[in-house]
Amino acid sequence: MIPVAEPCLGEEELKNVIEAVKSGWISSKGKFIEEFEEKFVRYCGRKYGVATSNGTVALHLALKALGIGKDDEVIVPTLTFVATANAVTYCNAKPVFVDSHPEYWCINPDKIEEKITPRTKAIIPVHLYGHPCDMDLIMKIAEDHNLYVLEDAAEAHGAEYKGEKIGSFGDISCFSFYGNKIITTGEGGMCLTNNEELAEKMRILRDHGMNPNRRYWYDEIGFNYRMTNLQAAVGVAQLEKLDEFIEKKRKIAKMYEEGLNELEEKNLIILHREMKWAKSVYWMYSILIEDSFGMNRDILMKELERKRIDTRPFFYPMHVLPPYQNNERFPIAEEISRKGINLPSGVGLKEEEIRKIVESLILKSK
Ligand SMILES: Cc1ncc(COP(=O)(O)O)c(C=O)c1O
């Protein structure tokens, strides 16, 4: 089966893990944690990094540090991975959904202001499938309404908006290093910020809320959200390869685009095009299957599976999921979600595999 994604791990990761094991520092103390934080922060053009055990808790930690709590509202795109909304819910706050942009599928900035109420405290833009959000518009809205911005950059390591790295905008940005992400630590996450106070707050909350100057003294209830030295050992090695992985992802996207262009010209599919202000990292190379394609998205996925090509359907929009169901309609997100598939996008993907996938899609179309 050609996988949708697989981690690309080598001798360097192994060497670091062996070093961590031999050192005995296998929990959340050890040299790799700070090294990973420092190097990733520098890569993204930020000041402080707080590594966490996964990307979901990175979001929770960031929201907690920003003081998001009961009855607060946080604006999130309805089309995202469920963790974005769940992190808000963990704070006893309410995620308020916004529809997607029809061209690049992230939160539509034009639809944000109508959702702002006196309870709104923050906006979480999600750089979906590796394509950046329109950050200028989002930052302007946040400034006008005095809202925090928390970037969910779980899927967009190294992506750029107008030449600036994703993860360098807003108050805090959060990343995931899950096994299918552009770089991985197995499970893992990180919060980045330029604000020293927020960084300190997140470090304290990550460690049960322990007062840094008084061992086993807790001024508040925190969490155990720490990353282990073993995870960070993998991360340090992965980080060295990030630019190479991004280049590979972009090359894969270009090959798909060239191969699938004819289907788009016939209005059978829609490609995830890069906006002129964006550098996408194509975490998942994604297309929309139009109704005119000849078979619906789910049948096509089964057909591809028979040819040993693995794919993923798009996320369901949050507003249709049982915990978040409401009567609101978000037509763009609903349509994108119904039509979207992620094609194999791993950095280990071979040219002949991409050709096979493209040919299979062309054969299956009308
Ligand atoms: C947009 C988004 N946010 C948050 C997460 C949560 O990250 P993790 O799986 O590391 O908890 C993910 C992915 O897994 C994601 O895709």
Per residue in 82-94, pLDDT (tens digit) is 999 999 999 999 9
Q: What does the pLDDT read at residue 71?
A: 95
Helix (H, G, I), strand (E, B) or coil at 288: strand
Candidates 60, 127, 176: which one to mutate for ligand 1, based on the most atoms within 8 Å of Cβ? 176
Catalytic option among 64, 165, 181, 241: 181
239-261 confidence digits (pLDDT tens): 999 999 999 999 999 999 999 99
Could you give the CA distance from residue 365 to residue 118 in angstroms, rounded to a whole number?
49
Atom of ligand 1 nearest to the CA of 127: 1
Per residue in 101-131, pLDDT tens? 999 999 999 999 999 999 999 999 999 999 9
Count the residues in the chain.
Answer: 366
Q: Is 170 left (phi over 0), alpha (psi -120 to 50) or beta?
A: left
pLDDT at residue 58 above 80?
A: yes
**DSSP string spanning 129-153?**
GGPPP-HHHHHHHHHHHT-EEEEE-
CA of 263 to the centre of ligand 1 (A): 31
Distance 188 CA to ligand 1 centre (A): 10
Q: What is the pLDDT of residue 366?
A: 74
Q: What is the share, in percent, of the chain residues with pLDDT greater than 90?
A: 99
User: How far is the centre of ligand 1, averaged over its atoms, from the C-alpha of 175 (Å)?
Assistant: 8
Q: Is 214 exposed, middle or buried (0-12, 13-18, 19+ CB in 10 A)?
A: exposed
For residue 364, count other CB atoms closer than 10 A to its CB. Answer: 18
Active site residue 181: yes
For a ligand 1 pocket test, name from 57, 131, 166, 178 the mutation site with the most ligand atoms within 8 angstroms of its C-beta.
178
For residue 84, how far is its CA from the centre of ligand 1 (angstroms)? Answer: 7
pLDDT digits over 146-191, tens only?
A: 999 999 999 999 999 999 999 999 999 999 999 999 999 999 999 9
Confidence band for 57, pLDDT divided at 50, 70 and 90: very high
pTM: 0.98
pLDDT tens per residue, range 294-345: 999 999 999 999 999 999 999 999 999 999 998 999 999 999 999 999 999 9
